[in-house]
Structure 1
Amino acid sequence: MTDSPITLADGIAAVLSDARGESVTVGDVHRLTGGASRQVWSVEAFDADGGPLPVVLRRDPPGHGDAQRMRAEAACLRAAAAAGVPVPQVLASGDAAPGIDAPYLLMNRVDGESIPRRLQRDPELTTARSELAEQMGYVLGLIHLSDVAEVAMLDSADPLDAIEAMYREFDEPRPAVEVGLRWLRDHRPSARPKALVHGDFRMGNLLVDRTGIRGVLDWELAHLGDPIEDLGWLCVRAWRFGAELPVGGVGTREQLVDGYERATGTRPSDAELHWWEAYGTLRWLVLSRFQAQRHFGGEEFSLELASIGRRVCESEYDVLLALGLLEDPGDDPEPRSAATTVHDRPATTEIVDLVAATLTDEIAQALGDDHERQRYLLRICVNLLRIAGREISAGDDAANTVRDRLREVGCDTEADLATRIRSGAVDYDDVAVRVAVSDAVLARLRVANPRHLIP
């Protein structure tokens, strides 16, 4: 007779019991949506008297752990708490534990809303929303006042060098990235003294209720660097989630820096904030490609990670937009005559539409609210199907147009143009170059996510 394997719930109960010095029992444990790089689990725990202990587990995917980063995340939470930042309390952390089987962090669960679209629209959050941009600036100021001696283990490499090195590892030259890198090198502001930088302070990583920010989450990208990086990252278009206002879709840049000045007594210039916003946009582009590579490189099979690969063109578009280098290539070329086919209907595009509609209108509805993660994955499947349908419908016309634009600047491929921008052989501000770069990005975006285009 063999012993029963230790479950995740058993492992959490043992760790919490040891940390609290009393017996802790664990009931329901379920994984929450999101968490493409780290898993997030909701834990129903009870103390020795049966009192509730709302707990959240963050852990690396088993077999893909980074213990050093998890230790650093725990240190950041403790340092930020000491500086007055609203963060969850660290209950326990470790490199591994039986049943948990990966580097982990156990925290108390903080109540509040984190879903960006609800934060942008919920009538009950109207008052908090009106003050949220200023409050985000203030909380960022508190983070940057944290004692850096407590987080000395964090990376302090030059951020632009680091993101360029990550991009080069893909060996996938992209003209929009090369344009962004050259512009950032040409316009870099003077550096500020290094501070604790959260690295991913944005809508989605904040818990908010009617009183304002209750918790700052997801410190896995924290590092030591220029504090204005966090403010620029918050202004990146991706974190507006379709809304117009530049700070998370809820406020203005002026409100953000007002709050920051209230906390720190310093105020970044418009040019400084713009540079870090442009950097953040390029950074998200490269990080998106990195996330997708975890799937395509065979490190981790993941529908979520794979789907991010089709979102890279959104950031290419946003980079050109932020730098004022996006060129409208004019009207789309006249579509070629539809090819004849020997196949019966439904045609390929009709099959995609039928399957997507059925998954959305019938199967997703049948799952119900108790299958939250399954519904989330189903939405990703539907989105990928619709991307495939748009790509089939687009045919070769866009690719042929991009090829013609590249030839106008003496290049055969986008990789060739990227290499020439990098070397300085062509000027990225030349109108013909801008058109060639923009046309390729727009061709990808019209297929991947046409709603991302600014009307």
Structure 2
Amino acid sequence: MIANALQRLAGQLVPGVHPVRAVQAVRRLSGGASQQTWAFDVATGTGQGQPMVLRRAADASGARAQGTAGLAVEAQLIEAAQAGGVPVPGVRHVLQPADGLGEGFVMDRIEGETLGRRIVRDERLAGARRVLARQCGAAMARIHRLPVHGLPPLRTAAARAELDFQIGLHRVHGTARPVFELAFRWLRAHAPDDVPAPVLVHGDFRNGNLMVGEEGLRAVLDWELAHLGDPMEDLGWMCVRSWRFGHGALPVGGFGTREQLFEGYASEGGQVDAARVRWWQVLGTLKWGIVCEAMVHAWLSGRERDVEKAAIGRRASEAESDLLALLAPEEEVA
């Protein structure tokens, strides 16, 4: 069904190229309850294949998980980011009801590495790791300076509201975690004031959502959690220890330093508030712990029987350890 529907779209995906011969090598890359990702190639009469990706809601209704922007909005954000100089895949087509594929869009497929553990270890990417943190900072600054008035409607996420939301999620699980309670108290006591002018925040800018080549950053992926808010949220999330893939000494994705990230951000006109970055890093670490907690809770309740959920759920204890390290007095942290 997917291949046939894509075949009908082929002419729209490569306009001006005739004849479009066929859609080939259709294969599913990943999937979940709310989204599917498919790779395919469009072969043309010129003999050159065009590599593309379909991002599609898992069912025809296009239902999305709470808090996400939706795939049609995500496509608009990617187009806006591209216009603002952010490295992203080009959007080829936003799905329409007549396409028979539900909600989603087709974009160019960029070659490179996305797996975080390979990005921090692969010797072929050694040169990329020397510049990647600065490139990420620069890309963030470009995202944050995009004109908000030209964007589709998005939710606004302020610091205290996000903290309250995470507390509510944790309470629903009914799990006793003293370290989480300690983090809740610290975050409430140190919550920054709301920013006077919320900006576009990617919401999931981290190692694992980047396409990386030997020269460094090729594309920023997965915009489904984008919203308006504090720009320091993206910088703090990038520094969460879980995205370092075993290279804990390098706080930015396991491949760079905060200084490199901040330098890249400043090079594109961004202004760093290190205290706010730290607050968002603590909240991000807590948020990941609550996500892990939710996964194991879904498995224990029988709603989801995928053993991967239970395995990831055990990582809530890692978040507790990371929180203790973040909240300890500096002189006590090795």
TM-score, scaled to structure 1 = 0.64
> Whose helix proportion is higher, 1 or 2?
1
Residues 226-284 of structure 1: CA deviation (Å, up to 9, x unaligned): 01000000000000010021111111111111111111241222x22211110110111
- Aligned-pair distance for 1:166? 2.6
- Conserved in 2, the CA contact under 8 Å of 1:10 and 1:99? no
Aligned ranges for residues 7-406 of structure 1 at < 5 Å? Answer: 7-20=1-14, 23=20, 25-32=22-29, 38-47=35-44, 49-62=46-59, 65-66=62-63, 69-94=70-95, 100=101, 102-158=102-158, 159-192=162-195, 193-243=197-247, 244-269=249-274, 271-292=275-296, 302-324=306-328
* DSSP-derived class of the 2:93 partner: strand
2-structure distance, mates of 1:148, 1:140: 15
Residues 36-79 of structure 1: CA deviation (Å, up to 9, x unaligned): 86332221222354431101122232378436611221121011
- Aligned-pair distance for 1:132? 1.1
* DSSP-derived class of the 2:70 partner: helix
* DSSP-derived class of the 2:157 partner: coil
- Aligned-pair distance for 1:157? 3.3
- Aligned-pair distance for 1:128? 1.9
- Aligned-pair distance for 1:10? 1.0
1-structure distance, mates of 2:103, 2:291: 22
Q: Tell me: CA distance 1:73–1:304, structure 2 relative to 1, closer, same or farther (3 Å).
A: farther
Q: Tell me: CA distance 1:212–1:34, structure 2 relative to 1, closer, same or farther (3 Å).
A: farther
Q: Tell me: CA distance 1:252–1:154, structure 2 relative to 1, closer, same or farther (3 Å).
A: same
* DSSP-derived class of the 1:113 partner: coil
CA RMSD of aligned residues (A): 2.8
* DSSP-derived class of the 1:264 partner: coil
Which residue of structure 2 lines up, in the alignment, with residue 405 of structure 1?
none
Q: Tell me: CA distance 1:172–1:217, structure 2 relative to 1, closer, same or farther (3 Å).
A: same
Moved more, 67-76 or 225-234: 67-76
2-structure distance, mates of 1:298, 1:17: 45
Q: Tell me: CA distance 1:95–1:280, structure 2 relative to 1, closer, same or farther (3 Å).
A: farther
* DSSP-derived class of the 1:44 partner: strand
Moved more, 283-292 or 307-316: 283-292
* DSSP-derived class of the 2:255 partner: coil
Residues 62-108 of structure 1: CA deviation (Å, up to 9, x unaligned): 378436611221121011111100000111223766663x4222110
Q: Tell me: CA distance 1:134–1:168, structure 2 relative to 1, closer, same or farther (3 Å).
A: same
Q: Tell me: CA distance 1:152–1:98, structure 2 relative to 1, closer, same or farther (3 Å).
A: closer
* DSSP-derived class of the 1:143 partner: helix
Moved more, 121-130 or 219-228: 121-130
Q: Tell me: CA distance 1:286–1:95, structure 2 relative to 1, closer, same or farther (3 Å).
A: farther
- Whose RCO is larger (CA < 8 A, sep 6+)? 2
2-structure distance, mates of 1:60, 1:301: 21
Alignment gaps of 5+ in structure 1: 1-6, 329-453
Alignment gaps of 5+ in structure 2: none
- Conserved in 2, the CA contact under 8 Å of 1:200 and 1:218? yes
Q: Percent identity?
A: 42
1-structure distance, mates of 2:43, 2:174: 51
* DSSP-derived class of the 2:125 partner: helix
- Aligned-pair distance for 1:178? 1.8
2-structure distance, mates of 1:296, 1:73: 32
Bigger-Rg structure (1/2): 1
* DSSP-derived class of the 1:32 partner: strand
